[in-house]
Chain A
Amino acid sequence: MLIRPPADILPSEITSQALFLQRRRLLQSLGAGAALAGLGQDLWAAPEGRPTLGPLSASPYSSQEKTTPLASVTSYNNFYEFGSAKEDPARQAPGRLKTHPWSVAVEGEVKHPRVYDIDSLLKLAPLEERIYRLRCVEGWSMVIPWVGFPLAELIRRVEPTGNAKYVEFVTLADPAQMPGVRSPLLEWPYVEGLRLDEARHPLTLLAVGLYGEVLPAQNGAPIRLVVPWKYGFKSAKSIVRIRFVAEQPRTTWVKAGPSEYGFYSNVNPAVDHPRWSQATERRIGEFRKRPTLPFNGYAEQVADLYRGMDLRRFF
Chain B
Amino acid sequence: MNTTPHPPPLNPLRLVLLLLSLLPAAYYAWGLAADTLGANPIEALSRGLGIWTLNFLLLTLCITPLRKLSGWHWLLRLRRQLGLTAFAYGVLHFLAYVWLDQFWDLDAIARDILKRPFITLGFAAFVLLWPLALTSNQRAIRHLGGKRWQELHRMVYAIAILGVAHYLWLVKRVALLDPILYAIALAVLLGWRIQARLRLAGPWPVRSAPPVVQPVVFMPKRPQGKLPLPPGH
Residues of B within 8 A of A257 (CB): 173, 230-233
Q: Which 10 A-B pairs have the closest CB atoms?
A: A76-B39, A72-B39, A84-B175, A185-B174, A84-B174, A259-B232, A257-B232, A185-B173, A284-B39, A80-B174
B220 within 8 A of A: no
B106 within 8 A of A: no
B103 within 8 A of A: yes
B95 within 8 A of A: no
Contacting residues of chain A (177-199) with chain B, CB-CB under 8 angstroms? 180, 183, 185-186
- State the CA gap A3–B232 with chains docked (Å): 37
- State the CA gap A247–B179 with chains docked (Å): 37
- Is A75 within 8 A of B38, CB to CB? yes
- Is A86 within 8 A of B39, CB to CB? yes
- State the CA gap A202–B174 with chains docked (Å): 33
Residues of B within 8 A of A80 (CB): 174
A87 within 8 A of B: yes
- Is A276 within 8 A of B116, CB to CB? yes
- Is B174 within 8 A of A186, CB to CB? yes
Q: Among B38, B101, B117, which residue has the most Cβ atoms of chain A within 10 A?
A: B38
Min CB gap A278→B, angstroms: 12
Residues of B within 8 A of A87 (CB): 38
- State the CA gap A282–B39 with chains docked (Å): 11
Residues of A within 8 A of B151 (CB): none
Interface membership of chain B positions 96-137, coded 1 if the CB is closer than 8 angstroms to chain A and 0 otherwise: 000001010000100110011110000000000000000000
Interface membership of chain B positions 6-37, coded 1 if the CB is closer than 8 angstroms to chain A and 0 otherwise: 00000000000000000110010000000000
B62 within 8 A of A: no
In the complex, which residue of chain A has the Cβ closest to the Cβ of B169?
A275
B75 within 8 A of A: no
A260 within 8 A of B: yes
Residues of A within 8 A of B232 (CB): 257-260
- Is A75 within 8 A of B173, CB to CB? no
Residues of B within 8 A of A76 (CB): 38-40
Given A75-B39, A274-B231, A275-B169, 9 more A-B residue pairs with CB atoms under 8 Å apart are A85-B175, A86-B38, A86-B40, A140-B43, A185-B174, A256-B233, A272-B115, A277-B108, A282-B42
- State the CA gap A180–B118 with chains docked (Å): 26
- State the CA gap A130–B133 with chains docked (Å): 54
- Is B40 within 8 A of A140, CB to CB? yes
Contacting residues of chain A (272-314) with chain B, CB-CB under 8 angstroms? 272, 274-277, 282, 284-285, 287-289
Q: Among A84, A258, A282, which residue has the most Cβ atoms of chain B within 10 A?
A: A84
- State the CA gap A130–B110 with chains docked (Å): 40
Q: Among B117, B169, B174, B232, which residue has the most Cβ atoms of chain A within 10 A?
A: B174
Residues of A within 8 A of B39 (CB): 71-72, 75-76, 86, 284-285
- State the CA gap A1–B23 with chains docked (Å): 10
Interface membership of chain A positions 13-49, coded 1 if the CB is closer than 8 angstroms to chain B and 0 otherwise: 0000000000000000000000000000000000000
Residue from the list A2, A275, A276, A285 in contact with B24, Cβ < 8 A:
A2
B207 within 8 A of A: no
- State the CA gap A80–B172 with chains docked (Å): 11
Min CB gap A225→B, angstroms: 20
Interface membership of chain B positions 160-178, coded 1 if the CB is closer than 8 angstroms to chain A and 0 otherwise: 0000000001101111110
- State the CA gap A288–B39 with chains docked (Å): 14
- State the CA gap A153–B174 with chains docked (Å): 35
- State the CA gap A63–B205 with chains docked (Å): 76
Interface membership of chain B positions 174-190, coded 1 if the CB is closer than 8 angstroms to chain A and 0 otherwise: 11110000000000000
Between A and B, 22 residue pairs with Cβ closer than 8 Å are A1-B24, A1-B27, A2-B27, A71-B39, A72-B39, A75-B39, A80-B174, A86-B39, A140-B40, A140-B43, A257-B230, A257-B232, A257-B233, A260-B231, A260-B232, A275-B116, A275-B170, A277-B112, A284-B40, A285-B39, A287-B42, A289-B103
Residues of B within 8 A of A2 (CB): 23-24, 27
Min CB gap B107→A, angstroms: 11
- State the CA gap A315–B170 with chains docked (Å): 21
- Is A288 within 8 A of B174, CB to CB? no
- State the CA gap A71–B231 with chains docked (Å): 35
Whether A275 contacts B118 in the complex (CB less than 8 A), given A257-B232, A288-B103, A289-B103, comes out as yes
Residues of A within 8 A of B27 (CB): 1-2
Min CB gap B113→A, angstroms: 12
Residues of B within 8 A of A284 (CB): 39-40
Residues of A within 8 A of B176 (CB): 185
- State the CA gap A282–B45 with chains docked (Å): 14
- State the CA gap A71–B173 with chains docked (Å): 27
Residues of B within 8 A of A259 (CB): 231-232
- Is A84 within 8 A of B172, CB to CB? yes
